[in-house]
Structure 1
Amino acid sequence: MTRSPGSFRISFSSPKEWVEGRSPVMENHSLTYRKSVLDNGLRVITVEMPHLHSVEISLYVKAGTRFETEANNGISHFLEHMLFRGTKNMPNSYQLHKRFESLGGDINAVTGVEDTCYWLSLHPRYFARGVALFSELFLSPRFADMDTEKQIILEEILNETNERGEDIDIDNLSSKMLWPDSSLGFPTLGSRENVLRFTEQEVRSFFETHYTASNMVLCIAGKIGHEQALSLASRYFSALPRGQEIQITPQKSCQQAARVLFKKNSGSQANVQVCFRAVSYNSPDYYAILLLQRIMDYGNSSRLQWNIRERQGLVYDISASVSSFHDTGTFDIDFSVAPGKISRVVQEVLRQIKNLTTELVSQEEFSRARRRCILEFDFSLDNVAKMADRFGWNELYRQGESLEAERKKIEQVTREQIFRLCREHFVNSGLNIVVVGQYSKEEEVRVNALAREFSP
């Protein structure tokens, strides 16, 4: 399973005062979350949600395309698949999935740019058994049936290619155009050639480097207690080696002007992505760009939905999203449209972007977006998966903050900050446009001219 680079996380983090060896407590209504650190360095986060009737066990690992080379691109995703191929006590994938599914839930994983996440959903009565089984994936993987798994991933790669074997995944193409000389531009699945070439020794070596306690966070959310969860984590995960913490090498942009890429593919519509370089999740403007995303696309009264879909009827599907990484990010607008309307919709999207650089967002529009953003945070307090993702992933990469501190940051964003953010990032040298589908030469010429002439 892969996560689209167009996705993003709205994050509540762990308390700022957390330090190794302490188990501080933060409470919000019926939600309590704590952190402890095992002797091997594994961080254990619990989110106690006693009003619910489910449990989510998640493990976050510093393993993703960012840590790959051109020669081993795709190995993070391949390794993710291989861990489901059996363990010492569950010798094949059938036995493994049968055991997990008997706990009343589901086990899955996702590979991203900077992390791989594994999660198990289960009934609270099987919590202890679930932790024990979950730990086996990371303590005693067999790496069996590699040839079979390679065939599965080759089929997965076909989902992202056309009949000529060319990559037509719009996120892959966009990432490669944004970061042509960086692992940030690598496709999650890797190439067919790499997948076929992977050996067990190579996969095990990557596993032994990245799947260590210092590069992992275990987060457990739902109807559980911290002391029980910590006891189980200590019992079943203490055997993980500490390992060497993986560091991130910062990337720099060398883009000087707008870029446009057209890729032919069959279909009745063209898929289009209009992308601007933006901010990382460590930026002071991170919360401002989250609010901007809601101003542009959060309900049919938002700017993209109202102006391009509802008012003009140009598209059925259009969306805005934020991708944020350790040192960079993007603001993306995606839509599908009939081939003859590509340039017209691109023009309308760029008009909406330019409006943000010429005048402040109205107070009413700004307040509505901020209110919905804060309410969305509250809604997520009833979702074990979102709580595990927030607290677990944040502990892996971001500086911890209390829930109230993060809420306060949202409330402190101003219209002027959003205006400045748009002026700084919605520029010609940050614009990238990708079109995948059927198109005429005339449409290609018009889109290239729109990109070339764009300026705030």
Structure 2
Amino acid sequence: MFLANFSLQSPAILTQPTSPERRQQNGVPEILSFPGRVTHDRLANGLRVCTVEASHLHGAVVSLYVRAGSRYETAETNGISHFLEHMFFRGSARYANSFELNRAIEDRCGMLVGETGRDYSLYQVALAPRDLDHALSIMGDLFTRPRFSDLELERAIVLEEILDDFDENGRRINIDDLARELMWSGHPLGFPITGPERNIRRFTRAHVMRHFHRCYGARNMVLCVAGPLRRRSVLPLVRRVFSRLPAGQRLAPSPPPAPAGGPRIRCVRTDSAQTEIQILFRGLADRDAGFPALIALLRVLDDGMSTRLHYRVCDQKGLAYHVNAALDPYHDTSLFEISSACLPEKLPLLVREIMSILAELRNTPVSSDELTKAKRRYARDLEAGYDDVESLCSWFGGTSLFSARPRSPEQRFRRLAAVTPGQIQRVANQVLRPAGMAAVVVGHLDRSLSQKVERILHGSPENR
């Protein structure tokens, strides 16, 4: 029995006229309406089902989102979510081993992929729409009757994966993990997704089964099916294969810790041709009124080779081959990230230039031309997402894992279109504060170079 549903739909098509008929939002043309229909249903066991009807596409995707990841772990269980993700690929009641499972999907020209994040895990199959029934049947069997066999073999694989995070001297050099550990100060958001070697070596089948029963209940999941399909055809298929899932409990992640003082800096020496740096700031949650301005700020800083970060650091001063800014979002917070790599001797100049660019964003409003360009590119990226079936699953299905009614692309656009230069400056002062910064440097460093970089990051007057 389906207990509830609501829908979002538009009769628009991708060939609708673009100009001059399109209305303007603060000087930026409205985006095209999503050319499809989105519905949200709930099975009797609590499984939420998102159906994205997109008749203009030629491929389909089945995505299962689960509240499972390092954020739901303790120091003793850290790594179990990722380990469990690996174990799913060992087969199910119907498929005796990994070969049979993958062959059943690949025979239909699909591929099963899985990934574990900090606050969710994802399992996804992309395939031809005509094979949707087949894919749902496999996914249903996998998550209701997993085998969890060959544990020792999978343990060896995960231990090999963990070695990527260390250099030949046993030092941790995964800069993403090191920076998040520094930022979150012991909170599970700072745990490495793969977990420490000592945990992986002691996990048993009982640990796997306990985490499976804790996280993989219907109420803790969202299933999204997207492509040229119809809800009336999808729901009976989903009900047939997923109704036997136990309801379980919807897990509530531990809230992020209060911001700690800063800047906090860590330098890790390793032998490498380049030295990496990652700078993190505590960002805003999507529900925060300032979040659209944070997105606009990000795009002014780094959205193409003519934006401030690349043009100044790479094109004008030749300090690095690449530099990028990104937002790492969670449902209740985010991280604003800047990353680059360069020759060790260039590092002080690189860091000084990045800090100078950030100071300008705090001190001076962005130009109207920069902001209009950022809004236009954001709108175009939203429209491009209409042709990407995996993006549609993420927009409407993935966000449903934490939000009862995720925003439509049109709503997202209108929020950002209303952003002003003054709002961006206020958010820059709120987020891009040295006092809230965590920075990690990994590479060929001596004590003198490390101290010089630290002084720049601390904003010492002689290094401004």
Find the aligned partners of 2:281 and 2:186 in 1 and give their Cα distance. Answer: 18
2:31 maps to: none
State whether residues 382 and 409 of structure 2, in contact with CA within 8 Å, keep that contact through their aligned partners in structure 1.
no
Indicate whether 1:425 and 2:431 are aligned. Answer: yes
2:23 maps to: none
2:400 to 389, 395, 398: 395
Q: Secondary structure at the match of 1:232?
A: helix
2:9 maps to: 26
- TM-score, normalised to structure 2, is 0.92
Find the aligned partners of 2:317 and 2:409 in 1 and give their Cα distance. Answer: 40
Find the aligned partners of 1:447 and 1:255 in 2 and give their Cα distance. Answer: 21
Give the share of equivalent positions with the same residue, in percent. 33
1:165 deviates by 2.0
1:20 deviates by 5.4
1:383 maps to: 388
2:199 to 188, 194, 201: 194
Q: Secondary structure at the match of 1:24?
A: strand
Find the aligned partners of 1:399 and 1:355 in 2 and give their Cα distance. Answer: 38
1:287 deviates by 2.0
Q: Secondary structure at the match of 2:160?
A: helix
- TM-score, normalised to structure 1, is 0.93
1:23 deviates by 3.8
1:169 to 157, 174, 178: 174
1:5 maps to: none
CA RMSD of the aligned region, Å?
A: 1.6
Indicate whether 1:352 and 2:361 are aligned. Answer: no
State whether residues 63 and 122 of structure 2, in contact with CA within 8 Å, keep that contact through their aligned partners in structure 1.
yes
2:457 maps to: 451
1:238 maps to: 243
1:248 deviates by 2.2
Deviations 1:166-195 (A, max 9, x none): 211001000110112211110000011101
Deviations 1:98-156 (A, max 9, x none): 11111112110111111001000011121111110111110110100010001111110
Segments ≥4 residues shifted beyond 3 Å: none
Indicate whether 1:299 and 2:304 are aligned. Answer: yes
2:48 maps to: 43
Count of residue pairs the alignment pairs up: 438
Change (3 A) 1:321 1:395: same
2:336 maps to: 331
State whether residues 5 and 39 of structure 2, in contact with CA within 8 Å, keep that contact through their aligned partners in structure 1.
no
Deviations 1:373-418 (A, max 9, x none): 0110000100001100111111011352333222211212221111
Structure 1 gaps of 5+ residues are 1-18
Find the aligned partners of 2:305 and 2:51 in 1 and give their Cα distance. Answer: 37
1:65 maps to: 70
2:19 maps to: none
Q: Secondary structure at the match of 2:225?
A: strand
1:415 maps to: 421
1:328 deviates by 2.4
State whether residues 340 and 439 of structure 1, in contact with CA within 8 Å, keep that contact through their aligned partners in structure 2.
no
Change (3 A) 1:454 1:333: farther
Alignment of 1:39-188 (within 5 A): 39-188=44-193
State whether residues 378 and 413 of structure 2, in contact with CA within 8 Å, keep that contact through their aligned partners in structure 1.
no
1:245 deviates by 1.3
Find the aligned partners of 1:308 and 1:406 in 2 and give their Cα distance. Answer: 30
Find the aligned partners of 1:447 and 1:261 in 2 and give their Cα distance. Answer: 10
Find the aligned partners of 1:406 and 1:427 in 2 and give their Cα distance. Answer: 26
Q: Secondary structure at the match of 2:327?
A: strand
Structure 2 gaps of 5+ residues are 14-34
Q: Secondary structure at the match of 2:335?
A: strand
Change (3 A) 1:367 1:199: same
Alignment of 1:252-267 (within 5 A): 252-267=257-272
Change (3 A) 1:362 1:454: farther
Give the stretch that moved more between structures: 28-37 or 256-265. 28-37
State whether residues 282 and 398 of structure 1, in contact with CA within 8 Å, keep that contact through their aligned partners in structure 2.
no
1:53 deviates by 1.4
1:271 deviates by 1.0
